[in-house]
Structure 1
Amino acid sequence: MTSTSATAEARRSRTLGWVVGLSFTALLFDGYDLVVYGTVVPTLLADKSQIGALTPAQAGTLGSWALFGVLVGALTAGAIGDRVGRRRIMLVNIAWFSLGMAVTATTTSVVAFGAGRFFTGIGVGALVATVGALVAEFAPADRRNRYNAFVYSGVPAGGVLAALAAIVLNDVAGWRGLFWIGALPVLFLLPLAWAKLPESPLWLLSRGEEERAAEVSRRTGIPLPSPVGGPDTEVAAPAKVGYAALAARPLLVPTVLLGLMSFSGLLLTYGLNTWLPQIMGSKGYGKDYALAFLLILNLGAIVGGLIASWVADRVGAQRVVATTFVLAALALLLMPLGLPFGVLLTAVAVAGVGTIGTQVLIYGLVSNYYPTTARAAGVAWCAGFGRLGGIVGPVIGGILVSAGVGGSTAFQVFAVISIVGALVTVSVRGVARGRTPTADAGHHEATAARDAVPA
C-alpha cells in the first residue's frame, strides 16, 4: 500500500467512524422515544392527574400518534432526501425531534401529549429514513449489512436505555423527566453532526456535482465509483429520481413487498415494546419484572441483530430476515406457556431478535437494495409504510388488553404476523447479498445465480 492510499484509507476510516457514530446516536434516541412511552403507560393509566383519564384502548391509540408523525416524517424525507441531500435532513431533524421530546415533557392533557408525540415522530421518521441511505453510501460494499445493523441497533439500544432509565429514575424524575432526557441531543449531538457529518459524495455525484463530489471524496477518503465494474460501482443515474423511480420497473413490485416486510417488522416491534410490560404485569409479574422483560427484549435484539448481520454479509440478508421472522413466531408461541423464569427470559430475548432485530436487518437490506438516485426514497418508503404497521401494533395490543383475552392471544396474533413477514420476505426477487440489477448491475450479473434466494 502506498503512502497516498494509506492516507486515503485512514481518512475513510475516520469519516466512516463519525458517520456511523453520529447515526447510531441519533437512532439511539429514536429507540429511546419508542420504548419510553411503554414504560410510562402504567403510570398514565393509573394516575389521571398526569394528563387526564386514560383507558387501555386510548393508551394504545395515543401511542400511535408518534407513529403517524414518523410516517409523515419518513415519507417527506423520502420525497426530498434524494434532492436536497443526506446531511441537511440529518441536521434539521436532530433538532426537530429534540424539541418534540421537550414539548411532550411539559404537556398536561391527553390532546397536548398526543400532539407532542406526533411532532416528535416527524423528526424521528426523517432520521430513520435517511440514516440507512447515508451509511450505505459511506460503508464498504462487503460490510454494509454489518454497518447498517450496528447503526440501526441504536434503536433497541435506545430501548435498553429507556428501560434502565425508567427502573432507576422513574421514582426520582417521574415520567416527565424521562421525556426531558430525550431532548438532550440538541445540546450535544447537533453541534457534533454540524461539525463532523459530511455530505455523501455518491449523492453529490448522482446530482451531477462532479467537482464537489471529488473534493469531498479527497477530504473524506470515501472513494467515488471507478469506470470499471466493481463492488462499489453503480450504473449511470436513471432518468427517474426518488419516488418516481420506485413506481417504475424494475423496482415497483420489490418496493411493494419490501414495504410489507417492514410493515410486519414494525408492527411486531411497536406492539411488543408498547404492551409487553402491561401483558406480563397482568400475568403476575411486578413493575420491575415487567420493565426487565423490555430490557431483555431489546438486549436480545442488539446482540442477535449484530450476529445475524455478520451472517447476512455472507449468505444474504434475505435468508437471514426470513429465518429471524420464523424464530420470532416460535418464541412468541412459547412465551405464554408457563415456562421456568430463565427459559422465559430466553424466549423474550429470541423474540427480540426476531422482531426488533429483524427490523434492523430489514433496514440494511432495503438501504443496500436501491441505487443512489432512489435510495433515500426506498428507505423512506419502507420506514414510512412500515410505520403503518407500527401504528397498528399498539392498537391491536390495546384492543386485546381491553377485551381481557389475555397475553396468550396477543402473543399468538403477533406470531401469525411473524410468519406472514417471513413469507413476504422470501417472495422478494432480485436480492443478492442486498444488491439489485439497478443498484449494482455488473456485480449482480456475476453473482446473482450464486447468491440470489429463489422465490
Structure 2
Amino acid sequence: MSLTDSRTVVMPISPEAERAAKQLRTVIWVVVLALFGLIFDGYDLVVYGAVVSTFLRDPSQIGAVTPSIAGQLGSYALFGVLVGALLAGTVADYIGRRKVMLIAYGWFSVGMAVTATMSTVATFGAMRFFTGLGVGALVATTGAIVSEFAPKGKKNLCVAIVYSGVPLGSLMAALVAIVLLGHMGWRGLFWIGALPVITLLPLAYLKMPESVAWLVSRGRLDEAREISARTGVEIPEAPPTAPADTAKQSVAYSRSGWLGLFSYYALPTLLLGLASATGLTLVYALNTWLPELMLRAGFNAKGSLSFLVVLNAGAVIGALLASKVADRFNPKPVVAACFAIGALSIYLLTLGAPLGVLLAIVAIVGLGTSGTQTLLYGFVATYYRANCRGAGVAWCAGFGRLGGVAGPMLGGYLAGGGFTLETTFYVLACAGVLGTLLTILVPRPASE
C-alpha cells in the first residue's frame, strides 16, 4: 500500500495578479499619506477657530484682539493658502507632484512650530501667512496626485477620502482643544500641528511615488515605465484628441498648466473657481466663528466647541457617502445638490430647534459646507486632463481661498457689527444658494 504525496502544490502568481497587488499597495500608501497630510492641514487651519475666544478675552496672549482683528488674523493663513496654491499649481505641473508635496509637508510644519512662539498680533499674523503657503501647496497638489493613482470608478471616492482629512483635522482640533486647551494653552495646540515634520515627511519621502500620468504628460516615458513596473500603476492611454473643429481650438486643447486652463477651459475654470470661493467662504466662516456664535447663543465653552465637532463629523461622513454616488453617476449634480442642502440646513438653524435637533442640523450643515468642498475637489480633479490637472486643482484651491480669506472676515463683521444670529445664518444660506447655481452652470468636460 503506497502513501500519497501530501506536499502542497504552490500555483504561480499571474503577472496580472502581481501587478494588481502592487497597485493596491501603492494606492493605499498614496491615499493614507495624502489623508494624514490633509488632516494636519485641516488641524493647522482650524485650530485658530478653537482658540480665537481665548485671544478675544485675554490680551496677555498676543495683545489686544477685537472681533475685527480676529477675523483678519484668521484670514492671513488663508491668504497664504491662496498664494501657495496658485504657485504650487504652476510648479507641480512642471516639476512633479511628489516634490511639491514633500516641500509642503516640511513648510507648514515649521510654520506651525514658529507660530507657537509668537507673542504679538503682528508676528502671529505673519507666521499664519507663512504657514498658509505650505498648506496651500499641499491642498493644491493632493487632488491631482490622488486622482492619478486612484483606480477607475473610484476616483471621486479616493479624492473624497483624502480631502475628508481637512474636516477630520478640524474635528481633531476641536477635540484636542476641548481636552487640552486648559492644560497646555494655545501654544501647545500649535506645537501639535508641527508633528508632520518628524512623522509624515520621512514616510512620504520613502513611500510616495511620482505620478505616472504626470510623467507621461511630460513625455518622460522611461521614468513612467520604471515607476509603473515598481508600483503596478498602469501607464495611462494617450489623451483624447481635441473635440474641436478648428486648428486654434486644437492648439488651446493641447496646452499645459495655466495656459490650458485659460484657453480651452476658460469658462468652466472661472465657474469652478467661483464655486470653490463660495464654498470656502462657508467653510471658514463657520469653522472660525461657530464656537463664538454658540457662546453668544448661551452655550458654555465646551458646549460651543461641541458644535464644531459635530459640524466636521457631518462633513466627513456625508462627503464619503456622497462621493460613492458621484463615482456611480456624475459629480456635478451631487455637488450642486449638496450646496443646496447646505443652504437649507443653515436656514434651519434660525428656527430655534431643541438641542438634539440642532446638533443633527449642524451635522447636515457640515455635509453642505466642508463636505461639499471635498466633493468639489473630486469634481475638479476628474474634470481636467493630466497636463493641466495640477493647475486646475490649484486654481480651485487657490482662487477659492479668496472665499477662505473672506469667510473669517465676514464672520468677524457680522459678529462685531451687532447683527443677530439669524441674520448671520441668512447671509451664509445665501452663499449656499450661489454655490448651487455656479455648479449647475459648469459645462460638460471635453472628454464626455
In the alignment, the residues of structure 1 paired with residue 380 and residue 241 of structure 2 have an alpha-carbon distance, to the nearest angstrom, of 18
> Residue 165 of structure 2 aligns with which residue?
154
Residues 1-400 of structure 1 aligned to structure 2 (within 5 Å): 3-226=14-237, 239-249=254-264, 251-400=265-414
Q: Is the CA contact 1:89–1:127 (under 8 Å) kept in the aligned structure 2?
A: yes
In the alignment, the residues of structure 2 paired with residue 342 and residue 218 of structure 1 have an alpha-carbon distance, to the nearest angstrom, of 53
In the alignment, the residues of structure 1 paired with residue 341 and residue 200 of structure 2 have an alpha-carbon distance, to the nearest angstrom, of 36
The answer for unaligned runs of 5 or more in structure 1 is 228-232, 431-435, 445-455
Q: CA deviation at 1:2?
A: 6.5
SS of the counterpart of 2:199? Answer: helix
In the alignment, the residues of structure 2 paired with residue 67 and residue 407 of structure 1 have an alpha-carbon distance, to the nearest angstrom, of 24
SS of the counterpart of 1:336? Answer: helix
In the alignment, the residues of structure 2 paired with residue 247 and residue 141 of structure 1 have an alpha-carbon distance, to the nearest angstrom, of 27
Q: Is the CA contact 1:65–1:118 (under 8 Å) kept in the aligned structure 2?
A: yes
Q: CA deviation at 1:222?
A: 0.3
Higher mean displacement: 262-271 or 239-248: 239-248
In the alignment, the residues of structure 2 paired with residue 37 and residue 220 of structure 1 have an alpha-carbon distance, to the nearest angstrom, of 39
The percentage of aligned residue pairs carrying the same residue is 54
State the one-letter code of the partner of 1:362: L
SS of the counterpart of 1:53? Answer: coil
> Residue 423 of structure 1 aligns with which residue?
437
The answer for unaligned runs of 5 or more in structure 2 is 1-11, 243-250
In structure 2, do the counterparts of structure 1 residues 429 and 2 end up closer, same or farther at CA, with 3 Å as the change threshold?
A: farther
In the alignment, the residues of structure 2 paired with residue 27 and residue 235 of structure 1 have an alpha-carbon distance, to the nearest angstrom, of 34
State the one-letter code of the partner of 2:147: A
Alignment RMSD (CA, Å): 1.3
Q: Is the CA contact 1:262–1:383 (under 8 Å) kept in the aligned structure 2?
A: yes
State the one-letter code of the partner of 2:110: L
Q: Is the CA contact 1:279–1:406 (under 8 Å) kept in the aligned structure 2?
A: no
SS of the counterpart of 2:219? Answer: coil
Q: Is the CA contact 1:246–1:255 (under 8 Å) kept in the aligned structure 2?
A: yes
State the one-letter code of the partner of 1:37: Y
In the alignment, the residues of structure 2 paired with residue 34 and residue 49 of structure 1 have an alpha-carbon distance, to the nearest angstrom, of 22
Q: Is the CA contact 1:18–1:196 (under 8 Å) kept in the aligned structure 2?
A: yes
State the one-letter code of the partner of 1:68: F
Q: CA deviation at 1:79?
A: 1.2
Q: CA deviation at 1:80?
A: 1.1
Q: Is the CA contact 1:329–1:419 (under 8 Å) kept in the aligned structure 2?
A: yes
Matched residue count: 428
CA-to-partner distance for each residue in 1:23-68, whole Å, 9 max, x for gaps?
0000001110122000000000100000000100110011000011
In the alignment, the residues of structure 2 paired with residue 289 and residue 311 of structure 1 have an alpha-carbon distance, to the nearest angstrom, of 34
SS of the counterpart of 2:400? Answer: helix
